[in-house]
Structure 1
Amino acid sequence: MVSNIGIKVLSPLSIIILACFTMKNKRFENKSGSFYQIKSDTVSVEDSIQRAQWDEEERKYLDSACQSETEKANLDIKKNKLVYFHYFGMVEQYNGDAEMTELLKKYNIEVDSAFTSCTVPYHLQNCYAQIMRKEIDRKFGPNFIDSLREVSKLEYVKKNPNKIYRFEECDWVSRYPGDKEYNDFFKNSQDHFWRNTKYPSGFEFRKDKDLYSYMGANFILYKTGKISDIKVDISFQNKKNYQYSSYFINQLKKFVQNTKWIPATSAGIKVNSEMDLTIHFK
């Protein structure tokens, strides 16, 4: 079992390591609760020395653990053992991990899992996994993993034709008609909504440029173009404007229903998806 710094999923030892890091940070914070709120020149010499000692202890541990993982990875590579890691944590995650695992088995590549942390330097976490990835790229080519990822995502979508995909699971293309790129969605949807929606005569516009009023619609966009489950939330900085809530909510619902939305895609295939639309008030 590899003791990944990054922290290996389902590994009791790794959970203990993470807890130790957390306890160490909390212990330091408790030692000087206002440390991050006061100027550095007011920090006591004792606190500064103690913090430096903890930082040094942690660096030595990380260096030692990474070196150990690196040696283990190089030894396994000499034995023709290759391992690909699915990551969890502060990195992009994918659909199709199970499909990816099956594809890798055809190349005699084992699969494991690792956790990434934002508090540990990248070059000192998951050192075993990093060495293994470099060897896989060297042996099979730099585009090998990415190409298998595309195949696995495609297989996943085909196996889940009725799933409602989250926004981040879809391809980054606009669902709004007429847009040339995704960024157009935010501007064009706003402009088109206000073309057919007038402010009531008694509506009070914001005077503070730093305060925003808005409403948001959440709905399901099916691959057929059908819309369902429209939910609208509205928030006004000026409480007097809540008297117009029903009017604006109905206008937004009509806008959503009357728009010929372009179905989302995942791996290039049309899918059902969640949609969010935000409209800001003047």
Structure 2
Amino acid sequence: MVLNIGIKVLFSLSILILTCFTMKNKRFESKSESFYQAKSDTISDSTIIEMEKWVKEERKYWDSTCQAETKRAKADIKNKKLVYFHYFGMVKQYRSNEEMNELLRKYNIQIDSTANFCTVPSELQNCYAALMDKEIDRKFGSKFIDSLRNVAEIKYVRKNPEKIYDFQECDRIPRYSGDKTYDVFFKSYETDFWKNIKYPDDFEYRKDKDYYSYISAEFTLHKNGTVSNISINLTFQNKKNYKYSSYFINEVKKFIINTKWIPAKTMGITVNSMVPLTLHFK
């Protein structure tokens, strides 16, 4: 029975998607017209009735699934069984799940995983996991999981001392000498770079305000403050300026190498990281 309903649910979703692509353009000519008021000539009344029926069956299926999961969770909790779920899809993903699992096992908490689906009402999916989350909070405190995750993140960083972290993985600290805030970083290095750069006499400046010429650079900033793996790309609005590519690339390299960068940190631990730079031409 469950399989048959599941097949119908998938079929109904396919019909809905197909319907969206087969609707005539005239349905969208008047934006003020309600979706339900604007009928498509390609959909018959009988098809609409069938679609409504499938939607009701889908809701009934998820209602039944949630009730069964809730009943099972209550029984497991009564038998002292606790399960922590890693969520995948539509939520933040963590790098330290392996370390988190080790910590949870010390509290006799089992581990499982589940996914969130955008097509299913949130109150009807992962009902077992939701009840387990509430019980873990009740038993150990509302800050228990967050505190364990913090420890797990630190463990992960210490276990991977040579990893090169993406810029956004690191703590929000400035990495340019003299900067006092993170936000200033994105302006100050560009200002300082152009202070010492002389444009060639026949360099053609930007004419169209809707388009930019820019330098996109990236490099590895090591824990000891040294840099490596410098990568530089230029995009000129005026193609004639490409003859100066080597000049600007060399200037950017010199700037990166001669600058005293501040090594990044993640979870308060100094790490290797990638640093992206963007420099705009006049």
Residue in 1 that maps onto 2:40: 43
What's the CA shift string for 1:128-185, capped at 9, x where partnerless?
2222111111111111111111111111222211122223432232322222332222
RMSD over aligned CA atoms reads 2.7
Q: Which position in structure 1 is the counterpart of 2:32? A: none
Letter in 2 for 1:261: W
Ranges in structure 1 where 5+ consecutive residues have no aligned partner: 1-12
Structure 1 equivalent of residue 92 of structure 2: 92
Which one scores higher on RCO, CA 8 angstroms, separation ≥ 6? Answer: 1
Per the alignment, residue 201 of structure 2 pairs with: 201
C-alpha distance 206-36 of structure 1, shift in aligned 2 (>3 A): farther
Q: Does 1:170 align with 2:170?
A: yes
Q: Which residue number in structure 2 is paired with residue 142 of structure 1?
A: 142
Q: Tell me what 2:251 maps to.
A: 251
- 2:92, 2:119 → 1: CA distance? 17
For 2:255 and 2:277, locate their aligned partners in 1 and report how far apart those are by CA, in whole Å.
11
- Evaluate the alpha carbon distance shift between residue 181 and residue 128 of structure 1 in structure 2; reply closer, same or farther with a 3 A threshold: farther
Matches within 5 A, 1:175-190: 175-190=175-190
Structure 2: gaps (5+ residues): 29-34
Q: Which letter maps to 1:250? A: N
C-alpha distance in structure 2 between counterparts of 1:214 and 1:124, whole Å: 49
Q: In the aligned structure 2, how far is the partner of 1:180 from the partner of 1:242?
A: 36
SS of the equivalent of 1:33 reads helix
Using the TM superposition, give the Cα deviation of residue 112 of structure 1 relative to its aligned residue in structure 2, in angstroms.
1.0
Aligned length: 266
User: More displaced, 141-150 or 113-122?
Assistant: 113-122
- Tell me by how many angstroms 1:117 deviates: 3.5
* 1:22 Cα deviation from its structure 2 partner: 7.0
Structure 1 residues 53, 98: CA separation in 2 closer, same or farther (over 3 Å shift)? same
Normalised by the size of structure 2, how large is the TM-score? 0.82
2:26 is equivalent to residue 29 of structure 1: no
- Where 2:220 maps in the other structure, the secondary structure is strand
2:156 corresponds to = 156
Q: Secondary structure at the match of 2:217?
A: strand
2-structure distance, mates of 1:207, 1:75: 71
Partners of 2:73 and 2:19 in 1: how far apart? 39
Q: Name the amino acid aligned to 2:160.
A: N
TM-score of the pair, normalised by structure 1: 0.82
On the 8 A contact 1:94/1:169 being kept in 2, the answer is no
User: Which stretch of structure 1 is more off in the superposition, 226-235 or 85-94?
Assistant: 85-94
Q: Distance in 2 between matches of 1:112 and 1:106?
A: 16
Letter in 2 for 1:83: V
1:252–1:120 CA distance, 2 compared to 1 (3 A): farther
Per the TM alignment, residue 189 of structure 1 is displaced from its structure 2 partner at its CA by 2.1
CA distance in 1, matches of 2:10, 2:228: 44
Letter in 1 for 2:40: V
The farther-off stretch of 28-37 and 272-281 is: 28-37
The question of whether the paired residues in 2 share the 8 Å contact of 1:214 and 1:234 is answered with yes
Shift of 1:269: 0.5
Identify the residue that residue 127 of structure 2 maps to in structure 1. 127
- C-alpha separation between the residues in 2 aligned to 1:164 and 1:232? 18
Percent identical pairs in the alignment equals 55
Partner amino acid for 1:28?
A: L
| Structure with the greater alpha carbon radius of gyration | 2
CA distance in 2, matches of 1:186, 1:42: 51
